[in-house]
Amino acid sequence: MDVKSLSSELFAQCKPTCVELSQEVAQPQPNFQRIGQLLSQLLHILQDHHQQHKNQGYILARNLADYVFFPLSGLLRHSPLPQDVTTYVLAIIQFLFDHSWNLDRSHTPEFTEQLVMLTVNLCGPDTQNKPRSFQHATFALVLSLVRSLPPDAFSKSDQGFSQLSKIITIDLNTLDSFQGQCTAQEDVDVTTLALEVLKQLFTRRVVDPEAMAQVLPGVVSKLVKFTKNVTKVHYSVVTLLITVLKSLISKVFSDRDLNATYVVESDPRRLWQQQAAANADAEGFKEETKVEIHAATEVRTQSWLTATATQLKLSLMVLFKNIAHSQEGKPQAIKPLYRAVISFFGELWHTSFYCLFTEIYNLAVDVVSLFEAMTTEGDAGEGITAVEMMSLAYHEEDDIDNRRSLITKLLKQKLPNLIDTKFAPTLQSSEDVKVLHILTSIRLQLEILHRVMTDNSGWWPATLARVATVLCDGVQDQLDRDNKPKRVNRAVEHQVVLPSHIDQENLAQISTKSDPVSAATEAYNHSLVTLSKTEDILGEATTKLSWFNDFYSDEVEAAMERFLQAVGALATRHQVFTEVIDQLLSSTPPKGINLWAVNHVSQSSPQASANFDVNEFLAFDDDEAMEEDESDENNHVMSLSVTAAEDLIDDLHRRLLGGGSSSVRFGYGVALDVLGSISALVSKDQYQQLVLMDYLYPMLEALTFPGDIHTHAAHALTQVAQQFYDGSMAKLITDNSDYLVDAITVRLNSGDLTPSLPGLLLVVIKLCGPDLLGQNMLGDVFSSIFVAMDLYHGYPVAMEGFFLVFHEVVKQISRQYVDPTPKIEDAAMNESSFAPWGMSNSAQLAKFVEDNHHIAYPEYDSTKEYFTRPRDAPFSEMVDSDDEEDEDDELGDEPPSTDVVEWQGPVPQSTWQLALSIFTYGFKLLSQPHRRLKHSILQTLKSVYPILATNYNKVLPVITANWNVLITMIAGADALHDDDRALVVSSSSTPATITAAVDLAVDIIHSDDQRERRSLSRQFNDSWPRLQPSLTANPRYRSVYSGYIMAGVNAYSRMIDDVTKCAMVEYCCDAGESKATMCREAQAIAWVYQKGLLA
């Protein structure tokens, strides 16, 4: 629709309302309530019409706008107007201005200026006390009017400047009304409109810097107050506020307008004072730089610049501190704020470098580093970086060298003071923001100096080494603090009130001292038990490695690593990398924290770079010499790192076995990290010679330690396996088994039975047990273990560790050779040795009847002559066929048999013999008084028995010989008697030991029950009278004992006399044994017993 059609349509809709409004306004005493309703109705008509036609180029005729405004002009004669009426009037005027008056060709700036005056008078100076709807209507109209004004509207007359002051006052007063939070949508809209008005004024409409200089202090003060009063505000408001300040400050402090330059002068008279206060360098005097204004104005004079710049610095410090505090913990807000800060200071350096350098550049470094520290790594957004902005990377001024020399001089004075006085104390802070801030600030200053400093002259190696050293010392202090025992408040001890029945005067003091070595050993054994139950021993070896969880967050630790990598990159660029590494590793013995720093610094070194370089294929003599120098430097650094790591492992190993402090664990873990990372820099053969020959043992041993040591060892070994062994830990161990087996055997033969030795064996067997056992690579190791067990069987800690190893060996053998799934028995198969007699079910009978080709004696051959009739001869010549001598002669004539008995069973003979040795030594050590050791042995015996049962005839003599020992464990007795006396129950017996012994005995009985000849029936019968004291003395074990007794009754029912059998079944019934677990005969006895028919 064209302008005329739109206007006609809207006129028809709003005419009735305008007519009624005019009538109400013309009344001597207007009804403002009705007027407010009519204005609201009129506004809705206008907005609805615009909503319907906004996509068609919405322009209204000026005549229509004047018609709608006519009743409003009459209303304006009544003063004061209610707030709601004024709100509607302002909104209607904005609508008419935006869609008609401002778009009309006859529109003049004077008309807009009159509307500005009208708006200012309608609003009044106290907008801070008005509702948000009133403030919104006010600033929406003011923004529309200001955008249409010419640039010189406020500077061509005193009246214009007066209107400017009033607008700014209204704006700032409104911002001053906000307190606490500014997160509601209406609050955000109002503050955004208010700040947008200021932005339009300072960017496009106020061209006179003198006028802006006069309002600058008040504007800055109010904006700073706003950030202080409003603790929570949307980040879009804050970024707009920073933009407002950028526009204002850059125009007021313009170098071009003031013709500002730096004047360098020397003052020898102040030499002594400066040297004492600022620690002047060896030049003998300090140069001072001052700014001079060569085009001073009425307001902006030299003294004004000095005072205002200083005050501006203080205000900006408070401003950015408040902003950072209000936006902390809001990741989505930090990125746009960081970009706004970069833009803010970047604009100042383009327009006001000389005027603001002295006061603001230091502040800029701190503010930019603060917001960069708050950003997520790698998520600072697009555009110019902080380093580029602060180093004037894209400036093309004629005096750019002079500007950069000023930056160099300033930062070379600022940075050493920051490193020496503030860096180390800040590292002790518990606030992440402070640590991140100083790390980012130092790194930022170093990178700026790298871009702007022209004279290196030995400054870089000393500074970079100093920075890394201070960081290491600060972190080491935290580690040492974590190791200190917590102080106990002795005064609290006397404040404890004991119960009345305790005689406080006669209390004996109990010693709470404990052996730290014993405690560490106990904790280590506990970790071994946990390790033995872990299937994936490496765990998540690729997870993020953390060291300082006790006192630094992961974010801080990552920032430290990035900081050290930046130091390494700068050292590489300035060709001082080797000097920095030498300085870090100069301590003897090396410190773990220094090695940690070297490890991260080296990640930015030439050998760590994987970037393609075409110059590698160009054969120039200079390039070859440079490559040789680089190679020598890399080899030197790598050699230092490996040597330091190996020295650390040797130095800290014993202390780690004794428990180890945080510092010890840290140093050991760092050494492991270095040994793992070196694998990416050398060949396989070199790595074997450098590391694996001597240090594969401690690397694998570290997997047995709990916590962070295990994590870092797993990570290091995974790196090596992926680099050289296709990611297979089994290949890594088997390929280096010679070194490993030799190291283990030497320790076993020398009696070095530390708890870590069984732990290492446990790790090795878990990682590649089948390969090593199948190739019998551990034969010498197990032989040495059995010898050590004979010699040191009185050391329960070592024995317990060995049986954990045996348990894992048995698990590996069972997994490979023993089928865990039970075989499904054929019900029709008669396995009796007297078949076809001995059938036990109808299926066996049916099979026997249906078998037409059944042969009763399949081994009989009717065509064969089994007996040879002797020749006829007199009795005197006949010789007894049973004569032993002739039989011996006949045997003597036969050649000796050379047949080799073939091994029977699925388990190889050597493996079975190893299992038998474990079984035998287990029974030997059951006489030890250590309870946990007994329980561990019994668990191992239970797991090894199924392997031995694959060759039952050979294991049966061992079971028979040790049966009494097993019965002693079941009875819970301490002493074993050779006679048939009843066993004496021990009060120190534990439920776990008794239960484990019973489980083993039940497994043995079940295995014996599956054989044709039940060989252990006599042993079971003999155990009944010997267990009587235990059966009566330990009623809580009734259910445990009943399982053993019922297993024996089910297996040997026909070999137990009736009286004993009834007593056994009675005991099991009293213990609650289910009939479902009983054989048929036992069920019958139980039925009779429960019916009370047994006398």
836 prior amide bond cis, ω within 30: yes
pLDDT at 769 over 60: yes
Mean pLDDT on 620-630: 47
CB 791 within 8 A of CB 748: no
The per-residue pLDDT for 286 is: 37
Residues 6+ apart with CB under 8 A from 482: 550, 551, 661, 662
- SS3 track for 11-78: HHHHHHHHHHHHHHHCCCCCCHHHHHHHHHHHHHHHHHHHHHHHHHCCCCCHHHHHHHHHHHHHHCCC
The per-residue pLDDT for 587 is: 73
The per-residue pLDDT for 104 is: 83
Q: Tell me the CA distances in angstroms from 741 to 493, 734, 744, one per residue in order.
A: 54, 10, 5
The per-residue pLDDT for 489 is: 42
Query: Residue 204 is encoded by which pair of tokens?
Result: 């496009």
Q: Which amino acid is at 162?
A: S
Binned at pLDDT 50, 70 and 90, residue 449 comes out as very high
**What is the tally of helices (H) and strands (E) in the chain?**
46, 4
DSSP 8-class letter at 420: I
User: Which of 478, 439, 476, 681 is closest to 567 using CA atoms?
Assistant: 439
Mean pLDDT on 1009-1032: 84
- SS3 track for 669-731: HHHHHHHHHHHHCCCHHHHHHHHHHHHHHHHHHHHHCCCHHHHHHHHHHHHHHHHHCCCCHHH
CB 944 within 8 A of CB 918: yes
Higher pLDDT, 98 or 633: 98
pTM exceeds 0.95, yes or no: no
Give per-residue pLDDT as tens, 716-731: 999 999 999 998 888 9
The per-residue pLDDT for 620 is: 42
Give per-residue pLDDT as tens, 1053-1082: 888 898 898 988 888 888 888 877 888 888
Q: Which amino acid is at 974?
A: D
CB hemisphere CA count around 377 (13 angstroms): 12
pLDDT at 890 over 50: no
Higher pLDDT, 536 or 380: 536
Alpha carbons 494 and 505: distance in angstroms, whole number: 13
| Helix intervals (H) in 284-352 | 302-326, 331-351
The per-residue pLDDT for 15 is: 92
Give per-residue pLDDT as tens, 845-866: 777 777 655 555 556 566 666 5
CB 930 within 8 A of CB 800: yes
Query: Any idea which residue has 């305008």 for tokens?
Result: 18
> How many percent of the chain have pLDDT more than 90?
24
Binned at pLDDT 50, 70 and 90, residue 1003 comes out as very high
507: left (phi over 0), alpha (psi -120 to 50) or beta: beta
Give the count of beta carbons closer than 10 Å to the beta carbon of residue 848. 14
Give per-residue pLDDT as tens, 211-225: 889 889 999 999 999
Alpha carbons 716 and 542: distance in angstroms, whole number: 10
Give per-residue pLDDT as tens, 319-331: 999 998 888 778 7
Mean pLDDT on 70-98: 89
992 burial (CB, 10 Å; 0-12 / 13-18 / 19+) is: middle
CA 218 to chain centre: 48
Query: Any idea which residue has 């002790």 for tokens?
Result: 428
CB 312 within 8 A of CB 249: yes
CB 367 within 8 A of CB 430: no
Alpha carbons 6 and 80: distance in angstroms, whole number: 34
pLDDT at 794 over 60: yes
Mean pLDDT on 81-95: 92
User: Which of 678, 671, 703, 653 is closest to 592 using CA atoms?
Assistant: 671
Alpha carbons 685 and 687: distance in angstroms, whole number: 5
Alpha carbons 425 and 429: distance in angstroms, whole number: 7
The per-residue pLDDT for 448 is: 93
Higher pLDDT, 952 or 755: 952
The per-residue pLDDT for 197 is: 92
Residues 6+ apart with CB under 8 A from 907: 813, 817, 818, 915, 947, 950, 951
Query: Residue 62 is encoded by which pair of tokens?
Result: 């000026």
Give per-residue pLDDT as tens, 942-981: 999 999 998 888 999 999 999 988 988 888 876 555 445 5
Give per-residue pLDDT as tens, 141-174: 999 999 988 877 777 777 878 888 889 999 999 9
Binned at pLDDT 50, 70 and 90, residue 908 comes out as confident
1048: left (phi over 0), alpha (psi -120 to 50) or beta: alpha
Higher pLDDT, 909 or 830: 909
Q: Which of 107-116, 598-607, 792-801 has the highest mean pLDDT?
A: 107-116
CB 143 within 8 A of CB 190: no
Give per-residue pLDDT as tens, 348-396: 999 999 999 989 999 999 999 999 988 865 455 566 788 889 888 888 7
Mean pLDDT on 421-428: 91
Query: Residue 352 is encoded by which pair of tokens?
Result: 């006001």
Give per-residue pLDDT as tens, 634-693: 677 778 888 888 888 888 888 877 666 778 888 888 889 888 888 888 889 989 888 889
Q: Which residues pair with 250 in a beta bridge?
A: none
Domain spans in the chain, listed from the N-terminal domain onward: 1-85, 108-150+160-202, 208-269+288-455, 458-482+517-607+632-727, 951-1094
pLDDT at 314 over 90: yes
Query: Residue 656 is encoded by which pair of tokens?
Result: 């780690």
Give per-residue pLDDT as tens, 260-302: 887 765 555 544 454 444 444 433 333 456 778 888 888 889 9
Alpha carbons 46 and 834: distance in angstroms, whole number: 112
Q: What is the mean pLDDT of the chain?
A: 80
CB 122 within 8 A of CB 89: yes
The per-residue pLDDT for 612 is: 33
Mean pLDDT on 807-813: 88
Alpha carbons 1089 and 283: distance in angstroms, whole number: 112
Give the count of beta carbons closer than 10 Å to the beta carbon of residue 954. 16
CA 20 to chain centre: 72
End-to-end CA gap in the chain: 116
Residues 6+ apart with CB under 8 A from 434: 426
pLDDT at 46 over 80: yes
Q: Are strands 287-293 and 180-182 parallel, antiparallel or unpaired?
A: unpaired
